[in-house]
């Protein structure tokens, strides 16, 4: 088994266990609400890309499209990691709910595994067109979040991105930060 497959199995296994723990600890009617969080969605997407690479490796290849998908998944979980590290942790002043239990897996372990896996074993040569694809999940989620929190007001501002009406700044910073992560990961 190649090292990439070991990392991808670890990403898949840890994500499934973490997601299972998140869903099991919520009351049954509230379990679907876990899928509102970018953390959950980015980890699921990264796990899916890990599964795709595992299947590709079983057939002895690592096609460019699969590597680009893994790149996008890795950018997504790195956004999760860096948002928690640089924004949520300092703004809440607490690690509770950010670095414990399944959140530790989704906020730290999976992003580190994905980053190491991508940089060490899967990177290859990618077109610069991969960069905007890396930004796409955050842009799509950002529009959904903006619509649900600011426009429709059907979601609470769970990340605090609209604190004092600052959604424009938050939106711009998240897109710029994601673009930077995407460019850096593509360059490395």
pTM confidence score:
0.88
pLDDT at 94: 62
At residue 96, the pLDDT reads 59
Using one digit for the tens of pLDDT, what is the confidence trace for 114-149? 999 998 888 777 888 999 999 999 999 988 988 888
Residue 30: both structure tokens together = 């509230």
Measured CA distances, 80 to 10, 41, 91, 153 (Å): 18, 10, 15, 23
Long-range pairs of 62-68 with CB within 8 A, sequence gap ≥ 24:
62/4, 62/122, 62/124, 64/124, 64/126, 67/122, 67/123, 67/124, 67/126, 68/126, 68/130, 68/133
Query: CA 84 to CA 65: how far, in whole Å?
Result: 29
d(CA 166, CA 146): 11
Contact 124, 67 (CB under 8 A): yes
The whole-number pLDDT of residue 124 equals: 74
pLDDT at residue 122, rounded to an integer: 82
Task: State the pLDDT at residue 70.
Answer: 93
Q: Which residue has the tokens 């990439």?
A: 4
> Structural domain boundaries of the chain?
3-187
Residues (pLDDT < 50) of the chain are none
Task: Check: CB of residue 72 under 8 Å from CB of residue 139.
Answer: no
Q: Select from 110, 118, 5 the least CA-distant residue to 71.
A: 118
Residue-level pLDDT at 69: 93
Q: Which residue has the tokens 């948002």?
A: 83
């Amino acid at each position: 088994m190649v090292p990439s497959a070991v990392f991808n199995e670890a990403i898949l296994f840890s994500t499934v266990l973490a997601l299972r723990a998140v869903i099991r600890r919520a009351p049954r009617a509230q379990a679907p609400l876990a899928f509102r969080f970018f953390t959950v969605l980015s980890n699921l997407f990264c796990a899916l890309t890990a599964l795709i690479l595992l299947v590709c490796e079983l057939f002895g290849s690592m096609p460019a499209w699969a590597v680009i998908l893994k790149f996008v998944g890795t950018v997504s979980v790195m956004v999760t990691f860096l948002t928690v590290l640089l924004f949520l942790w300092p703004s809440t002043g607490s690690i509770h709910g950010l670095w414990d239990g399944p959140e530790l897996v989704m906020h730290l372990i999976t992003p580190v595994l994905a980053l190491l896996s991508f940089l060490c074993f899967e990177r290859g040569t990618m077109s610069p067109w991969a960069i905007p694809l890396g930004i796409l999940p955050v842009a799509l989620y950002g529009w959904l979040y903006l619509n649900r929190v600011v426009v429709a007001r059907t979601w609470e501002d769970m990340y605090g991105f609209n604190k004092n009406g600052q959604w424009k700044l938050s939106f711009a910073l998240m897109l710029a930060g994601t673009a930077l992560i995407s460019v850096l990961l593509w360059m490395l």
